[in-house]
Amino acid sequence: MKNLKTIVIMSGMFALMAMPLKAQKWEHLADTPQMGWSTWNKFQGNISEDIIKGIADAMVENGLREAGYTYINIDDCWHGQRDGNGFIQVDPVKFPNGMKAVADYVHSKGLKLGIYSDAGTATCGGMPGSLGHEYQDAIQYARWGVDYLKYDWCNTTNVNPQGAYQLISDALRAAGRPIFLSMCEWGNSRPWKWAREVGHSWRTTPDIWCDFDSLRVFPGYTQFGVMQCIQFNDSLRQYAGKGYWNDPDMLEVGNGMTENEDRAHFTMWCMMASPLILGNDLRNMSDATRNIIMNKDMIAIDQDTLGVQGWHYCDKDGLQFWFKPLAGNDWAFTILNPTRSDITYELNWQDFNLTDQQVSGLSTDFGSKVYKVFNLWTHKQEGKTSLKSKVDRKITVKSRDVVSYRLSL
C-alpha cells in the first residue's frame, strides 16, 4: 500500500515536470488596437528626454490623450552600455536623468511609456540587443516603469523567431509588470499563424515610408508606401482580433504627404483595426493634421469593440470599396480613390449586399435594412440607405482620398 502511494505521488510529480513551463502573455492590454506615438518616423535616433517630455505635454494639451492616445514609445537608439552585471543603461547624454525619471514624467501626465529592443545581438540602429539578456532586460524595464515593448528583429542570425518572441513574452510576464508586447519581425515568419498567445500585435509589413504609393528600395531592404502596406495587410484579416492585431506599421500623418493622402492613410488604418501609433511632431503640427488624428468618429471605427478588421470588398470605376462590421450591427463603409484623378461614382446600395464570410458572419442586408448614413469626415448625417435598386446618390471621391461613412440602424 505504501509503495502504491509512493508510485502515485511520484508519477504525479513526473507529470508536473513534463508540463511545458509556458507563461501566458499579459491579458487585456489589447482589447482594442493600441494607440499612441513613437519617436521613430520623425526623429529616428535623434531623441532626448526633452523631446519625450515635450511630446507628453503636447499629447495632453492637444486633447490626444482624451481621444485615446495612451502610449509614448521611445524607439531605437535610447541605449547606453550594459553595466558590469549585464543590466542595460540609457544613453547618459540623451537621457541624463535616467529612464525611470522619463517614465515618472509620462505617468504623471496620465500616459504610458514604451521602449524598444531587439531579439538579436544588436538593434537595427546598432545598439545592444536583448539576445542572452531577455530576463534581465524585462526586469530592468519593469523597474523603470515601462508599459510597452516593441521587439525588433535585426541581427538575429540563427535565432528562431517563435522561440525568441516566446522567451521575451515569458520574461515580461515573469518580471511582474503588465507590459504590452509589440512584435516587429516584419511578417517574415508569418507571426499571425503562431503568435496569438505570445504578443499583442505583430508587424505584417516592412517599414513604411512617407509616401502614398511607391516602394523605396535600398540594397538589402525595401520600404512600403501607404498603399503597399494596405494591400498586404488586407490579406491577413482573418488572423486579427481582440488581443492580437495586425500591424501595418506606424502612421506617417503630418510628415509630408498631402492632406487628402494623410486622410486616406488614417482612414484605412482605422478600417483595418490597426494600431494607431502617431509618427509626427505633436509639438508643432498644422490644424489639418490635428483634425485628422483627432477625428473621434473615425477613431471609434478603429477602436470598435467587435474587434474585426475590415476588408477590401470590390473595385468599381477605379475606386476601392471597403467594409468593416461594427458592434451593434453598424458598418463602416469607405470608398478609397487610389488614383491620380477625382472620380464621381453613382451609388446603388443594392450592389453591396454582402456577408463577411471570413470573420464575423455579419451581412449588410441593404435589401431589408435601412441604415442612417453618417459621413465620418464632414460629421454630417447624409440621409439613409435605400431599399430600392436605383442610383441613390452621386459621390465624388477626390484623388488619393476617401469618402467614409458609418451606417447605423
Residues at the contact surface with ligand GLA, assessed by CB under 6 A: 40, 75-76, 123-125, 152, 184, 207
Q: Give the nearest distance from C-beta 324 to ligand GLA in angstroms.
A: 25
Burial 304-316 (b: 16+ CB within 10 A, else e): bebbbbbbbeeee
Sign of CA dihedral 128, 76, 47, 169: negative
The answer to whether 35 and 76 have CB atoms below 8 angstroms apart is: no
Q: Give the nearest distance from C-beta 39 to ligand GLA in angstroms.
A: 9
Residue 43 or 144 having the CB closest to ligand GLA: 43
C-alpha cell at 45: 535616433
Out of 76, 137, 147, 152, the active site residue is: 152
Residue 206 or 310 having the CB closest to ligand GLA: 206
DSSP-derived pairing of the beta strands 88-90 and 331-337 = unpaired
The answer to whether 181 and 188 have CB atoms below 8 angstroms apart is: no
- 207 catalytic? Reply is yes
Burial 57-69 (b: 16+ CB within 10 A, else e): ebbeebebbeebb
Could you give the CA distance from residue 44 to residue 41 in angstroms, rounded to a whole number? Answer: 6
324: enclosing H helix or E strand:
strand 319-325
DSSP-derived pairing of the beta strands 112-118 and 71-73 = parallel
Q: Give the nearest distance from C-beta 47 to ligand GLA in angstroms.
A: 11
DSSP-derived pairing of the beta strands 180-183 and 201-203 = parallel
Residue 75 or 356 having the CB closest to ligand GLA: 75
Could you give the CA distance from residue 394 to residue 319 in angstroms, rounded to a whole number? Answer: 14
Eight-state DSSP code of residue 251: -
The answer to whether 312 and 320 have CB atoms below 8 angstroms apart is: yes
- What three-state secondary structure class fits 382? strand
C-alpha cell at 338: 487610389
Q: Give the nearest distance from C-beta 203 to ligand GLA in angstroms.
A: 7
Could you give the CA distance from residue 251 to residue 201 in angstroms, rounded to a whole number? Answer: 15
- 315 catalytic? Reply is no
Residue 184 or 319 having the CB closest to ligand GLA: 184
Q: Give the nearest distance from C-beta 155 to ligand GLA in angstroms.
A: 11
Out of 207, 247, 304, 330, the active site residue is: 207
Contacts of 380 (CB under 8 A, 6+ apart): 374
Q: Give the nearest distance from C-beta 147 to ligand GLA in angstroms.
A: 17
- Return the active site residues: 152, 207
